[in-house]
């Protein structure tokens, strides 16, 4: 599986590149807001300089399909490694499929985002043009947030996308390190992971007995820091 870094701080991207050797990067408007971005094009240029040619996804901002198309073309021109994120609908719930088809025909590399159903995956793979390279982002973690196991849906998505060389399947909204192994096991192509979860990769393979001891030591240190006793 290819592990991408999910975030919109250029420092965070540099950290992900150098510490965890990630294979690509994803951003979205909420991550940009969190990172305090105030100038999209400047951010995009800084991010592109940081990622050394690795795949990097930037999302359109508009809610209007004609404007989205212009934004997509502008973002795509910034680099051959840019994937333009198009949400599966606009905020009114109107389908982006006609725009996705149009952009795919004009050769823009797309990352279709905010997908949460298998019908959405099926509608996208139908319109992607042969010979193009695109990403389909299924928000597995947001499905898990509703109390539903995302694995059955992700397996169906794997089946659809392996039949479609134009599409790589991406597990979005990774919540924990376990998701990386789950995604790998069922044949997902890419998982995008925040630096907070990437930091926990150092825990992989850790002896549980040692982890138990470190947990107790953590409590003990905090008791000392609190500086008072029960009795």
Is 43:9 a contact under the CB 8 Å cutoff?
no
Is 144:133 a contact under the CB 8 Å cutoff?
no
Least CB distance to ligand E4P at residue 134 (A): 13
CB atoms within 10 A of CB 169: 26
Three-state DSSP at 94 gives coil
Among residues 109, 120, 137, 164, which is the contact residue for ligand E4P, using CB under 6 A?
A: 137
28 binds ligand E4P (CB under 6 A): yes
9 binds ligand E4P (CB under 6 A): no
Query: Which one of 26-34, 39-47, 73-81, 151-159 is the stretch in contact with ligand E4P (CB under 6 A)?
Result: 26-34
From residue 89 to residue 118, what is the string marking binding to ligand E4P with x (rule CB under 6 A)? ------------------------x-----
Q: Which residue pairs, CB below 8 angstroms and at least 24 apart, start in 126-131?
A: 127/97, 127/100, 127/101, 128/100, 128/104, 128/164, 128/166, 128/167, 129/101, 129/104, 129/105, 129/166, 130/166, 131/166
Least CB distance to ligand E4P at residue 28 (A): 4
173 binds ligand E4P (CB under 6 A): yes
Binding site for ligand E4P (CB under 6 A): 6, 26, 28, 30, 113, 137, 139, 141-142, 172-173, 192
């Amino acid at each position: 599986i290819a592990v991408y870094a999910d975030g919109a701080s250029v420092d965070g991207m540099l950290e992900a590149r150098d510490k965890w050797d990630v294979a690509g990067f994803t951003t979205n408007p909420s991550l940009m807001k969190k990172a305090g971005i105030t100038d999209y094009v400047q951010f995009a240029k800084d991010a592109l300089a940081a990622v050394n040619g690795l795949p990097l996804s930037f999302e359109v901002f508009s809610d209007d399909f004609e404007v989205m198309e212009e934004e997509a073309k502008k973002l795509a021109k910034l680099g051959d490694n840019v994937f333009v994120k198009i949400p599966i609908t606009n905020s009114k719930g109107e389908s982006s499929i006609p725009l996705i088809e149009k952009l795919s025909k004009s050769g823009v590399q797309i990352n279709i985002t905010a997908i949460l159903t298998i019908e959405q995956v099926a509608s996208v793979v139908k319109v992607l043009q042969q010979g193009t390279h695109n990403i389909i982002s299924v928000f597995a973690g947001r499905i898990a947030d509703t109390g539903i196991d995302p694995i059955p849906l992700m397996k169906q998505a794997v089946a659809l996308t392996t039949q479609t060389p134009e599409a790589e399947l991406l597990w979005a909204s990774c919540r924990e390190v376990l998701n990386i192994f789950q995604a790998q096991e069922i044949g997902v192509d890419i998982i995008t992971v925040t630096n907070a979860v990437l930091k926990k990769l150092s825990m992989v393979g850790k002896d549980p007995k040692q982890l138990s001891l470190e947990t107790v030591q953590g409590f003990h240190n905090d008791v000392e820091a609190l500086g008072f006793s029960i009795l």
